[in-house]
Amino acid sequence: MRFPSVFDQATHAEILSRLSLLHEDSPRLWGTMSAAQMLAHLSVAYEFAYGVRTDTPPWIMRKFVALFFRDLLVGDKPYPKNGPTAPAMKQSVEKDFLTEHKKFTEWVERVHHDGREAFEGRRQSTLGVLTADEWSTLFYKHLDHHFRQFGI
């Protein structure tokens, strides 16, 4: 399965449309995060992508993930339900839905605005240098997984 490109206008519109369907009380179909926690969780990936967060795992763990989980993260298969979450991305404290919704929307807008060129050859904190297509897959797969988690 090939995932749509987050850099394309139609995909961007689809993401924003699906995001508009998420509400504070949207029920999850699996997992433990609330809708607000899920949005905060999604934002962490963008914070790493833009260097806002730099608390990466030790180098040996990064190598392990890059070797054994690269295809899971940027390959063609959707993420499985209830898969493991990186410790830096776990959300155990309740969040404010409107704050997290606004923040995540801003990240989605920023990636789309910056475009494919900004991500070609950009380093990802665990996987190393990725192509723009790999970045797009990483972003889209992750948000689609969590949108499906909340039935959107």
The 10s digit of each residue's pLDDT in 54-69 is: 777 767 776 766 666 7
Structural domain span for residue 88: 9-149
Cα–Cα distance for residue pair 39/11, rounded to 1 Å? 18
Domains identified in the chain, total number:
1
Residue 71 DSSP SS3 = helix
Residue 54 DSSP SS3 = coil
CATH, residue 28: 1.20.120
Residue 3 lies in a domain: no
Secondary structure percentages of the chain, helix, strand, coil, to 5? 55, 5, 40
Residue 112 lies in a domain: yes
Please give the average per-residue pLDDT across 1-16, as a whole number: 94
Task: Give the per-residue pLDDT at 33.
Answer: 95
Task: Give the per-residue pLDDT at 60.
Answer: 77
Task: Give the per-residue pLDDT at 85.
Answer: 79
Residue 2 lies in a domain: no
Please give the average per-residue pLDDT across 78-85, as a whole number: 82
Verdict on whether the full-model pTM lies above 0.85 = yes
Residue 1 lies in a domain: no
